[in-house]
Amino acid sequence: MTTLSLKKTTSAWIITILVLFIIAISFGITMRFNQGRDINLNPDTFYSIMTVHGVTMIGIWSCAGMMAVNYLLSRYVKTSVKLNVFAYAFTVVGVLMIWASTLIGKFHAGWTFLYPLPFRVAWAKWGTPLFLWGLTLLAVVWLVWAIGMVAQILRNYSLSESLAFQHLSRTKTPAKETPPFILISFVSLIGIIICLVTAAILMALLFAEYYSNGGFVNDPLLVKNLTYFFGHTIANEALYLGLATLYEIMPEVSGRPKFKTTWYVALGWQLSLFFILTAFFHHLYMDFVQPISFQIIGQMASYLASIPSAVVTVLSVIFLVFGNKIKWNIVNGLFFLGVTGWIIGGIGALIDATISNNIVLHNTLWVPAHFHTYNAMGNVLFSLAFFFWVGNEFVDSKDYSKFNKLLLALLIIGGFGFVIMFYIGGANSIPRRYSVYPKELNLGDILATLGGAFASVYLLAILWIFIDLMKKCIKVFSSAR
- Residues in the site for another protein, rule: CB under 8 A? 4-5, 8, 42-44, 81-82, 85, 89-90, 92-93, 96-97, 100, 104-105, 115-116, 121-126, 130, 147, 150-151, 154-156, 158-159, 190, 193-195, 197-198, 201, 205, 214-222, 225-226, 229, 277, 289-290, 438
Q: Which is nearer to Cu ion, 128 or 309 (CB)?
A: 309
The amino acid at residue 250 is M
Q: Give 340's Cβ-side CA count (13 Å radius).
A: 10
- Of 201-209, 231-239, 337-345, 394-402, the segment contacting Cu ion by CB under 5 A is 231-239
Positions 387 through 446 that interact with ligand HEM (CB under 6 A): 418, 432-433
C-alpha angle with apex 312: 352 to 284, nearest 5 degrees?
25
380 near ligand HEM, judged by CB under 6 A: yes
The Cα–Cα gap between 98 and 101 comes to: 5
Q: Which is nearer to Cu ion, 61 or 247 (CB)?
A: 61
Find out whether 430 and 365 touch, Cβ atoms under 8 Å: yes
Nearest distance in Å: CB 331, another protein? 28
Selection from another protein, Cu ion, ligand HEM, none that 215 binds (CB < 5 to 8 A by kind) is another protein
- Of 55-63, 116-124, 206-214, 345-353, the segment contacting ligand HEM by CB under 6 A is 55-63
Alpha-carbon separation of residue 119 from 129, 202, 216 (angstroms): 10, 14, 13
Residues in contact with ligand HEM, shown as a per-residue x/- string from 93 to 112 under the rule CB under 6 A: -----------------xxx
The amino acid at residue 9 is T
Nearest distance in Å: CB 349, ligand HEM? 14
Alpha-carbon separation of residue 218 from 12, 120, 213, 287 (angstroms): 40, 14, 12, 16
Asked whether the bond before 116 is cis by omega within 30 degrees of 0, the reply is yes
Nearest distance in Å: CB 226, another protein? 7
Question: Contacts with ligand HEM: how many residues (CB under 6 A)?
Answer: 25
370 near Cu ion, judged by CB under 5 A: no
The Cα–Cα gap between 120 and 109 comes to: 9
Positions 232 through 251 that interact with Cu ion (CB under 5 A): 232
The amino acid at residue 375 is N
- Of 56-64, 240-248, 277-285, 469-477, the segment contacting ligand HEM by CB under 6 A is 56-64
Q: Which is nearer to ligand HEM, 18 or 455 (CB)?
A: 455
447 near ligand HEM, judged by CB under 6 A: no
375 near ligand HEM, judged by CB under 6 A: yes
The Cα–Cα gap between 256 and 86 comes to: 36
Residue, CB closest to ligand HEM: 28
Q: Which is nearer to ligand HEM, 51 or 295 (CB)?
A: 51
In this structure, the number of other CB atoms found within 10 A of the CB of residue 25 comes to 22
Q: Which is nearer to ligand HEM, 196 or 380 (CB)?
A: 380
DSSP state of 167: G
DSSP state of 109: S
The Cα–Cα gap between 350 and 406 comes to: 32
224 near Cu ion, judged by CB under 5 A: no
Q: Which is nearer to ligand HEM, 71 or 371 (CB)?
A: 371
Alpha-carbon separation of residue 256 from 76, 161, 247, 318 (angstroms): 20, 25, 12, 13
Closest by CA position to 348, among listed 369, 365, 362, 318: 369
53 near Cu ion, judged by CB under 5 A: no
Q: Which is nearer to another protein, 159 or 318 (CB)?
A: 159
The Cα–Cα gap between 410 and 435 comes to: 27
The Cα–Cα gap between 348 and 422 comes to: 11
In this structure, the number of other CB atoms found within 10 A of the CB of residue 80 comes to 16
Residues in contact with ligand HEM, shown as a per-residue x/- string from 9 to 28 under the rule CB under 6 A: ----------------x--x
Nearest distance in Å: CB 458, ligand HEM? 5
Neighbouring residues of 467: CB distance < 8 A, sequence distance ≥ 6: none
The Cα–Cα gap between 471 and 469 comes to: 5
Selection from another protein, Cu ion, ligand HEM, none that 432 binds (CB < 5 to 8 A by kind) is ligand HEM
Q: Which is nearer to another protein, 43 or 255 (CB)?
A: 43
| Per-position b or e across 275-311, b if 16+ CB within 10 A of its CB | bbbebbbbbbbeeeeeeeeebebbbebbebbbebbbe
- Binding residues for ligand HEM, rule: CB under 6 A, are 25, 28-29, 31-32, 50-51, 53-54, 57-58, 61, 110-112, 368, 372, 375-376, 380, 418, 432-433, 455, 458
